[in-house]
Chains A and B, each alone.
Chain A
């Protein structure tokens, strides 16, 4: 999808709006978000999370919606959405699996975990499994270095990971089984996660209290000071709860590896997404 100059093609026409009932619902949410700020434009990052919660990624439709709500141009909104790595530019999986490969996690085994997941899933960086469940990405430092190497799923912590635990984790996700973070609540889908990021609290009963106060590393200094630290190393391979329940999936399965930026919203069935191309990393990032 490029011109001879290698530049992205301009959209053929403005992105279609959300269907009226979707727009009406999102407008209520958007106004609530805007109301939290002294100046409306501050709501842009949360609104981008909100439209991502609606469609799974930031589409032209979502961008137009944000622009409309804030009195901005689509170009102004696009400029912001493309600056931040958490906004997807094409459809991805229900579960975003991030493997930290910044220096400390990398040397502690993050590189090996990332390589083994690529091999196990048969996909590359920022690509999605054919069943639309898992999008794999290597990520930067996620502020959990004392639990290295770290894997994040939908931005919940899976601390002290190993290649084996990571492979079991993605297998569980693809089998529709619950995977329980070491820190965080039972997983919800990528879209539901995006809604929390938009500033709408997780209303699932008990979710706030799941995951405890932190693992052994968080508590080690306190426990030594209190004389309650056992003498074994704090670094333990976490035991995950046996997978039993099925995860409710409300998002339709999505094919992977669309060219970015994709121009078609799911809300616009008249303009289907371009065909799935060869699986490549559109953003030019190199796997480490």
Chain B
């Protein structure tokens, strides 16, 4: 049995307190102490502290946060901008939304520290529009922070002037890509930019800009407050610290589990009560739909950047979507592919056209009207998208196809043999009876 002490709630530590979204509750738990410590340091020291902590970006790519800050050129005479990517939309990903809903001040404190470090006087939180409860809490927290002197002119007497604008998006997955986000924030269609130049050199309004994920920025105040050694006491050498793992799907207790990097799914499942009664795990994603899927062979893979990478996938957003044996992998992959087709911004031909054809092929395969040759075509099209577009959306579209064919090729074939999907869709629902599912009913239409 996995010990509950394995868990390390830091960002989620106050979520069970009275109104944790308020400034009062946040401050009672030591909130804004990290900011005071940061403001007593030189900005370069703050950047060095975050570098020393080894904090890596929690939005998917895992790039060292302090290094990103260090790329912002100093004394260049241009305004600098901090932009928080709160556009959480990767299928399966559900960590930043509960974080901002329960504890928006930890993000705001992080924004102020990061802005001080990179010498930014205007920061933005770009939050996806489809989460009004979060927007409401952010509006309120920013208002509280201005009133308390954490934002505005001469923050806490430090000489730092900082404006913070909460900006709601309008529904576009692609805006989670950092350069598309910047175009969107400039009032344009959200389409990725060719790099270089990178945002650190020419970002928002062609000025040096740092784009960081919500959880990355929210992890900064505890680091400043409790120190680098404390942070590095969790996780591994190359992936230090704590993070939010989000379990969803066919688990007994889905939800947010904050744990040191490097925990395994077996340990997390143990805490979550396991896969739902009477069923077993079939496939899962380590970090959202864009990360190649895993199976029950991978339960002991350390869920850190290196461990997941070595096993052939990516840690991504730590969105652990659990699917049991009642789920048809072809149906799952088709639905994700429809998503990528819908969300492709249309800028790059391989992605725009490729995701269209992938959807056509998979639709035919799911109906049982495909051929074995279609599987080769599917891989060929996926290969022609992967790495051949400006941004990673196309790569994400290829991942579920390539990985599902690697592990479940027979299931694709079973669709031809059966003349359709052999699974009963009713068996996978949250309200399905707990008795082992009957398969082969062919009820899916």
Contacting residues, chain A, for B245 (C-beta < 8 A)? 221
A86 and B136 CA atoms in complex are apart in Å by: 17
A233 and B255 CA atoms in complex are apart in Å by: 11
> When the two chains form their complex, are residues A218 and B255 in contact, meaning their CB atoms are under 8 A apart?
yes
User: For residue A163, which residue of chain B has the nearest CB?
Assistant: B431
Let me know if A276 is at the binding interface, CB within 8 A: no
Pick the residue among B8, B90, B319, B342 that contacts A225 (CB under 8 A): B8
Known: A70-B187, A160-B430. A202 touches B323 (CB 8 A): no
> When the two chains form their complex, are residues A185 and B136 in contact, meaning their CB atoms are under 8 A apart?
yes
Let me know if A114 is at the binding interface, CB within 8 A: no
User: For residue A82, which residue of chain B has the nearest CB?
Assistant: B189
> When the two chains form their complex, are residues A144 and B335 in contact, meaning their CB atoms are under 8 A apart?
no
Interface string of A146-167 (1 = CB under 8 A from B): 1111001011110010100000
A153 to chain B, nearest CB (A): 10
> When the two chains form their complex, are residues A43 and B187 in contact, meaning their CB atoms are under 8 A apart?
yes
Let me know if B428 is at the binding interface, CB within 8 A: yes
User: For residue B273, which residue of chain A has the nearest CB?
Assistant: A233
Known: A104-B91, A107-B331, A218-B255. A213 touches B130 (CB 8 A): no
Counting chain A CB atoms within 10 Å of each CB, the highest count among B94, B165, B189 belongs to B94
Let me know if B226 is at the binding interface, CB within 8 A: no
> When the two chains form their complex, are residues B133 and A181 in contact, meaning their CB atoms are under 8 A apart?
yes
Known: A146-B94, A196-B135. A108 touches B249 (CB 8 A): yes
A183 and B102 CA atoms in complex are apart in Å by: 10
> When the two chains form their complex, are residues B131 and A85 in contact, meaning their CB atoms are under 8 A apart?
no
Pick the residue among A45, A87, A218 that contacts B184 (CB under 8 A): A45
A265 to chain B, nearest CB (A): 20
A144 and B255 CA atoms in complex are apart in Å by: 9
Let me know if A262 is at the binding interface, CB within 8 A: no
A216 and B9 CA atoms in complex are apart in Å by: 15
In B125-167, the 8 Å CB interface with A consists of: 128-133, 135-137, 139-140, 143, 163, 165-167
A225 and B260 CA atoms in complex are apart in Å by: 13
> When the two chains form their complex, are residues B255 and A155 in contact, meaning their CB atoms are under 8 A apart?
no
A181 and B252 CA atoms in complex are apart in Å by: 23
> When the two chains form their complex, are residues A222 and B132 in contact, meaning their CB atoms are under 8 A apart?
no
> When the two chains form their complex, are residues B255 and A221 in contact, meaning their CB atoms are under 8 A apart?
yes
> When the two chains form their complex, are residues A209 and B343 in contact, meaning their CB atoms are under 8 A apart?
no
Known: A101-B335, A154-B132, A157-B133. A221 touches B7 (CB 8 A): yes
> When the two chains form their complex, are residues A103 and B13 in contact, meaning their CB atoms are under 8 A apart?
no
> When the two chains form their complex, are residues A220 and B170 in contact, meaning their CB atoms are under 8 A apart?
no
Let me know if B5 is at the binding interface, CB within 8 A: yes
In B156-188, the 8 Å CB interface with A consists of: 163, 165-173, 184-188
Let me know if A214 is at the binding interface, CB within 8 A: yes
How many residues from B make CB contacts under 8 Å with A? 94
Pick the residue among B12, B16, B92 that contacts A104 (CB under 8 A): B92
Contacting residues, chain B, for A185 (C-beta < 8 A)? 133, 136
Let me know if B4 is at the binding interface, CB within 8 A: yes
A154 and B171 CA atoms in complex are apart in Å by: 13
Let me know if A273 is at the binding interface, CB within 8 A: no
A83 and B173 CA atoms in complex are apart in Å by: 11
> When the two chains form their complex, are residues B327 and A107 in contact, meaning their CB atoms are under 8 A apart?
yes
Let me know if B19 is at the binding interface, CB within 8 A: yes
A209 and B129 CA atoms in complex are apart in Å by: 19
B343 to chain A, nearest CB (A): 7
Pick the residue among B9, B97, B252, B428 that contacts A233 (CB under 8 A): B252
Contacting residues, chain A, for B137 (C-beta < 8 A)? 208
> When the two chains form their complex, are residues B172 and A38 in contact, meaning their CB atoms are under 8 A apart?
no
Let me know if B96 is at the binding interface, CB within 8 A: yes
Interface string of A186-210 (1 = CB under 8 A from B): 0000000100111101100001110
> When the two chains form their complex, are residues A196 and B94 in contact, meaning their CB atoms are under 8 A apart?
no
Let me know if B271 is at the binding interface, CB within 8 A: yes
Known: A162-B430, A225-B4. A197 touches B132 (CB 8 A): yes
Interface string of B1-33 (1 = CB under 8 A from A): 000110111001101110111000000000000
Beyond A85-B171, A86-B169, A221-B258: 18 further Cβ-contacts under 8 Å?
A: A42-B186, A48-B170, A79-B189, A86-B171, A103-B336, A106-B331, A107-B331, A145-B254, A145-B321, A146-B94, A146-B248, A196-B139, A201-B139, A201-B140, A209-B19, A213-B16, A229-B253, A234-B252
